[in-house]
Amino acid sequence: MAAHNELGRWGEDLAAVFLREQGMVVIDRDWHSGHRDIDIVAIDRDTVVFVEVKTRRNSVFGDPVEAIDNAKLRNLRIAIDHYVKSKRINQAFRLDVITIVGSPDCGEPTITHLRDVLFY
């Protein structure tokens, strides 16, 4: 596995633990719809939460959230629509973004949780 994939997997694992610590129940990970994917799907009380995770070793090239451009948001919207239809979800849902700056060998990472990111 390439180093950036390992870092991404580590970040997604960390984000899943973080969400559980916030009281959410993780119900799906790394769900694919063609070449589009959803990193984490969780339940927060009565809301389905789709979570995009962005992990970077450091902030040298900017905040990880800056990697979520309009094309990424469009792909997320398509994947979420497919997930909602295929799982027949009929409850409220939202998109959250978790950014992680750090690496497994670099002390305590910085985790930022952006809730209810507007993308429609």
Query: In Å, how far from its chain's centre is CA 10?
Result: 12
Pairing of strands 93-101, 110-114: antiparallel
pTM equals 0.93
Token reading at 49: 């939460």
State the residue for tokens 């919207």.
77
Strand ranges across the sheet with 47-56: 25-33, 36-44, 47-56, 93-101, 110-114
Instruction: List per-residue pLDDT tens for the chain, 120 residues long.
Output: 677 789 999 999 999 999 999 999 999 999 999 999 999 999 999 999 999 999 999 888 788 888 888 899 999 999 999 999 999 999 999 999 999 999 998 889 999 999 998 755
Q: What domains can be seen in the chain, in order of their start residue? A: 3-114 (3.40.1350.10)
**What whole-number distance in Å separates Cα of residue 26 and Cα of residue 50?**
10
Chain centroid, CA 87 distance in Å: 19
